[in-house]
A and B are shown apart, each in its own frame.
Chain A
Amino acid sequence: DVKVTQSSRYLVKRTGEKVFLECVQDMDHENMFWYRQDPGLGLRLIYFSYDVKMKEKGDIPEGYSVSREKKERFSLILESASTNQTSMYLCASRSSSGSNYNEQFFGPGTRLTVL
């Protein structure tokens, strides 16, 4: 089974802090994604990566950056956390080939609160 893990389930940070959210997948997937989920807004794409060291902006990249130094790991960075970044953050991965390459596999999520 594909497993996507996220470093924390719950995180509380203060305004202005630098925050790192880590995501690791164990199925050698080329593509990895960071979404944020807010009530009534569904999932919105922040950034994605289709290869090591490659990244592309999603729909709401402002205030975020990402890092992908290894294939299995995709990090989301909040350079200076703000209260409007309080949200649930979901990481996902997806293969580029194979029978189920269309499917995205999600981690359990990190609920971040910025005070």
Chain B
Amino acid sequence: SQQGEEDPQALSIQEGENATMNCSYKTSINNLQWYRQNSGRGLVHLILIRSNEREKHSGRLRVTLDTSKKSSSLLITASRAADTASYFCATDGWTGRRALTFGSGTRLQVQP
């Protein structure tokens, strides 16, 4: 079953604007990760936030985590055409299973 659900499913913005993607999950987690996938390619890890953290930054990326609401958001500031990709949240639970559980993704289109 899908743990994470991203919202929106698709997002189209102009270059220079900020892009916000949301992720909701169902069970308790150890950490939550965001990945990026360029069209037809494998996924690349972007950022990880642990369950005891509320916010994390990496370059133009800002991730928040609200464990009480079981939700996370990924903000990309000052977007560029090269940010066009699909973005997935993935949860890492406490079960000891080393696999991540991925959501269905947000497809981001940045218009130049």
Contacts and interface: CB of A to CB of B under 8 A. Distances in A.
A41 B40 contact: no
Interface stretch (A13-21, A62-70, A71-79, A106-114): A106-114
- Interface residue SS majority, chain A: strand
Contact of A111 (B40, B45, B100): B40
B42 A43 contact: no
Range, interface on chain A: 20 to 34
Contacts, number: 59
27 contacts: A35-B102, A40-B9, A41-B104, A42-B104, A43-B88, A45-B99, A48-B97, A48-B98, A48-B99, A50-B98, A59-B1, A90-B42, A90-B43, A92-B43, A94-B98, A96-B98, A102-B33, A102-B48, A103-B33, A103-B45, A104-B43, A104-B100, A106-B35, A106-B42, A109-B40, A109-B41, A109-B42
